[in-house]
């Protein structure tokens, strides 16, 4: 009996029973025998196993394409399989980053980058860094692995974020070096003049040199202090404060400290009569207010006050507002004000003693306290900086 073929016993029994009935009915015996034989053969043929489905092509194309698609489809890295130079499989990440249209295209046309084309032409595969593959600032590491004489696998690793961080660090070091070099060069220049004169310089001129050296030294000290503050704030930005502090005395004292005795008469301070509790770092909140008040007094109209207020909005958030009545800031500068060392007027900022880090420090402090920072300005009217911080009880409910 052939494998997989079942004996059609019920059908044969039915055929025999039918033949017996036909004989009893007087039908010719040979005719009955023929009918029974035909019927039994029919049942035997019907009991044969179905023909196996046609097998997929065994040349590797269809089997490899289907298997590789299932294997790489959900990989987090963009991956593509090539049949010669043609892309036959692209997983979800590749379709998202490069485009679904690449399937079926020549890889050289789909990628359209000289470095990628050179890598595709290498007989043994390899790896290369490609800049600008999916955008002007994108940075990808492309690897090509040869599977056999026909098929190869392309893998892409996105290095854009790493490149951006490296670029930001490089820019920061360059800017910090420039900012440190300027006061140092001034100090060294004046001190060299004093040393070379060896007492021959008149006292009035010497005093002027000493004042300049002292001013530049203080500027250098402020810059170093701000760099250290920024470093500390960035290191703690993921450590949300737990201590409950009252903003009313913090804002009042910090605003007066930021103004100092020489500018205190220009400070217009409005505080509530009841406590306003937030979860915060006392020292950093003081620094935030001092920086904002100092900026407002430096760059606002020297004959007009700077208003500092502390209120609560309808969403139960503490609102710290600092408003000056200065020249205002052009709209194109506002999105960049919290960048390190960014200045709308570098000469004026340095002359006023600014380091270019004050608002960068403020931004990181606000982020650590889960708040928001908003800067609005109108030319000829002044600038308003608004800080919104969740009240302690509101933050506790969210937590």
CATH number of 239-398: 3.30.565.10
CATH number of 163-234: 1.10.287.130
- Whether 343 and 349 have beta carbons less than 8 Å apart is answered as yes
Instruction: Give the architecture (CATH level 2) of 61-158.
Output: 2-Layer Sandwich (3.30)
Alpha-carbon distance of 102 to 86, in angstroms, equals 9
pLDDT values of the chain reduced to their tens digit, one per residue, 399 residues: 444 555 566 666 776 777 776 777 776 777 767 777 776 776 656 555 554 554 444 444 454 566 777 788 888 899 999 999 999 999 999 998 888 888 989 999 989 899 999 999 888 889 999 988 888 888 899 999 998 888 899 999 988 877 766 776 676 777 777 778 888 888 888 888 888 877 677 888 888 888 888 888 888 888 888 888 888 887 787 788 889 999 999 999 999 998 988 898 999 999 998 999 999 999 999 999 999 999 899 888 888 999 999 999 888 899 999 999 988 888 888 888 888 878 777 666 666 666 778 888 899 999 999 999 999 999 888 999 999 999 986 444 443
* Residues in the chain, total: 399
What does the pLDDT read at residue 180? 80
Q: Break the chain into its structural domains and give their ranges.
A: 9-46, 61-158, 163-234, 239-398
Alpha-carbon distance of 326 to 322, in angstroms, equals 12
What does the pLDDT read at residue 50? 53
3-state secondary structure of 79: strand
Question: How would you label 64-86 residue by residue, b for 16+ Cβ within 10 Å and e otherwise?
Answer: beeebeeebeeeeebbbbbbeee
What does the pLDDT read at residue 60? 47
Is pTM beyond 0.85 here? no
What does the pLDDT read at residue 57? 45
What does the pLDDT read at residue 269? 92
The full DSSP string for 335-398 is GGTTSTT--SSHHHHHHTT--S-HHHHHHHHHHHTT-EEEEEEETTTEEEEEEEEEBHHHHHHH
Q: Are strands 372-378 and 382-390 parallel, antiparallel or unpaired?
A: antiparallel
Alpha-carbon distance of 72 to 82, in angstroms, equals 13
């Amino acid at each position: 009996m052939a494998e997989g073929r079942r004996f059609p016993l019920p059908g044969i029994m039915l055929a025999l029973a039918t033949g017996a009935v036909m004989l009893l009915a007087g039908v010719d015996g040979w005719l009955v025998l023929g009918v029974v034989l035909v019927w039994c053969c029919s049942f035997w043929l019907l009991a044969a196993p179905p023909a196996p489905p046609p097998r997929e092509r065994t040349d590797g194309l269809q089997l490899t394409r289907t298997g590789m698609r299932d294997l790489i489809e959900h990989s987090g890295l963009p991956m593509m399989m090539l049949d010669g130079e043609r892309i036959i499989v692209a997983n979800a990440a590749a379709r998202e980053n490069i485009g679904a249209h690449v399937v079926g295209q020549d890889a050289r046309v789909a990628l359209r980058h000289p470095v990628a084309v050179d890598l595709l032409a290498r007989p043994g595969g390899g790896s290369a860094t490609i800049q600008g593959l999916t955008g002007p600032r994108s940075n990808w590491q492309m690897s090509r692995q040869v599977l056999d004489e026909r098929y190869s696998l392309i893998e892409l690793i996105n290095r854009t974020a790493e490149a951006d961080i490296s670029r930001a660090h490089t820019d920061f070091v360059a800017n910090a070096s420039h900012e440190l070099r300027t006061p140092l060069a001034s100090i060294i220049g004046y001190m060299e003049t004093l040393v070379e004169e060896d007492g021959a310089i008149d006292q009035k001129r010497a005093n002027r040199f000493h004042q300049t050296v002292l001013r530049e030294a203080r500027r250098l000290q402020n810059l170093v202090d701000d760099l250290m503050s920024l470093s500390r704030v960035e290191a703690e930005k993921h450590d949300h404060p737990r201590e409950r502090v009252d903003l009313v005395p913090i804002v009042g004292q910090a605003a007066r400290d930021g103004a100092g005795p020489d500018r205190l008469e220009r400070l217009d301070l409005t505080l509530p009569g009841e406590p306003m509790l937030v979860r915060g770092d006392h020292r950093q909140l003081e620094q935030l207010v001092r920086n904002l008040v100092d900026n407002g007094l430096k760059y606002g109209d020297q004959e007009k006050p700077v208003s500092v207020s502390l209120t609560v909005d309808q969403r139960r958030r503490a609102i710290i507002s600092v408003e000056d009545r200065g020249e205002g800031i052009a709209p194109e500068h506002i999105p960049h004000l919290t960048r390190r060392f960014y200045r709308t007027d570098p000469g004026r900022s340095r002359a006023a003693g600014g380091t270019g880090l004050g608002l960068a420090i403020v931004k990181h402090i606000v982020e650590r306290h889960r708040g928001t920072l908003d800067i609005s300005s109108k030319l000829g009217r002044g600038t308003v900086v608004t800080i919104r911080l969740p009240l302690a009880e509101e933050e506790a409910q969210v937590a």
